[in-house]
Amino acid sequence: MQNIITAIFKVESEGYQAITTLRQLPVTDNSAILQMALVKKIGTGLSICDSFDSGAHTTDDTLHGGVIGGLLGILGGPIGVLLSGSTGALIGSAIDAKDAKNSASLIETVADKLQDGDVALIALAEEATESDLDRKLSKFDVEILRYDAAVIAEEVEEAEKLQKEMERQARAQLRATKKEERKKAVEEKRAKISADFETFKAKFKKA
């Protein structure tokens, strides 16, 4: 089973210990980690503290692309603040209600459940059994949650489309606002120039 695993830590230093431990042996007989990131909630956004990438999506050991990279890109962008109220619109009719509920739970956990300053490890893993990674993580004061990776990948794709549309609309609105402001400024200048002419003509007639 391919899962998105979130481990929410009570102690920040334990999050760093956990990602260091998992990075040392990302593949075992019972599990394999393709990508993972340690994130910290800062205000309404997320900061990536540390990360691991298998290289399946990149040529170096950095977190770009893939499900985790896409998920963090959404959560760290302008749409992240709105996700808790928008997940239903993002998922669409192709995903059934149960999967939608599970998918929304991940987004809500990362975007809303974490308190300012909390840390969470988010990983894309394949697991024969859950016990392998649970055993490595449960030695910390942590809450472990799992979600279907395919469902999350679909939601991330839909969220990316929505974010692009929101950005397009924002740019269009900005252009419209600037056009209106420019039109107003032009009219003000036109009025001033006309007033200058009227003043000059009035003085000329008096002379």
**Interval 68-108: pLDDT, tens:** 888 887 777 655 555 544 444 443 433 344 454 444 556 66
Higher pLDDT, 135 or 61: 135
Q: How far is CA 8 from the centre of its chain?
A: 17
- pLDDT recorded at residue 96: 45
Amino acid (1-letter code) at residue 73: G
Q: Report if residue 175 sits inside a domain.
A: no
Q: Report if residue 205 sits inside a domain.
A: no
- pLDDT recorded at residue 110: 65
Q: How confident is residue 111, by pLDDT bands cut at 50, 70 and 90?
A: low
25: domain range? Answer: 2-168
- pLDDT recorded at residue 64: 54
The percent of residues in the chain predicted with pLDDT above 90, rounded, is 28
User: Rounded distance, CA 103 to CA 99, Å?
Assistant: 6
For tokens 């230093």, name the residue. Answer: 13
Q: Report if residue 107 sits inside a domain.
A: yes
- pLDDT recorded at residue 12: 93
Instruction: Tell me the CA end-to-end span of the chain in Å, nearest whole number.
Output: 94
Q: Report if residue 199 sits inside a domain.
A: no
What lies within 8 Å, CB to CB, of 133 at 6+ separation is: 5, 22, 31, 123, 125, 127, 144
| Number of domains within the chain | 1
Q: Report if residue 104 sits inside a domain.
A: yes
Tokens representing 26 are 């990302």
Higher pLDDT, 31 or 84: 31
- pLDDT recorded at residue 95: 39
Q: What is the DSSP string of 45-108?
A: EEEEEEEEE-SSS-SSSS--SHHHHHHHHHHTSTTGGGHHHHHHHHH-TTS-HHHHHHHHHHHH
Q: Report if residue 93 sits inside a domain.
A: yes
Average pLDDT over residues 140-166: 82
- pLDDT recorded at residue 47: 86
* Coil vs helix vs strand at 162: helix
- pLDDT recorded at residue 175: 82
Average pLDDT over residues 188-201: 89
User: Rounded distance, CA 40 to CA 93, Å?
Assistant: 32
Quick: pLDDT tens for 137-150.
Answer: 989 999 988 888 88
Q: Report if residue 26 sits inside a domain.
A: yes
- Ranges 57-71, 155-169, 187-201, most confident: 187-201
Q: Report if residue 174 sits inside a domain.
A: no
- Asked whether the whole model's pTM tops 0.75, one would answer no
* pLDDT exceeds 60 at position 59: no
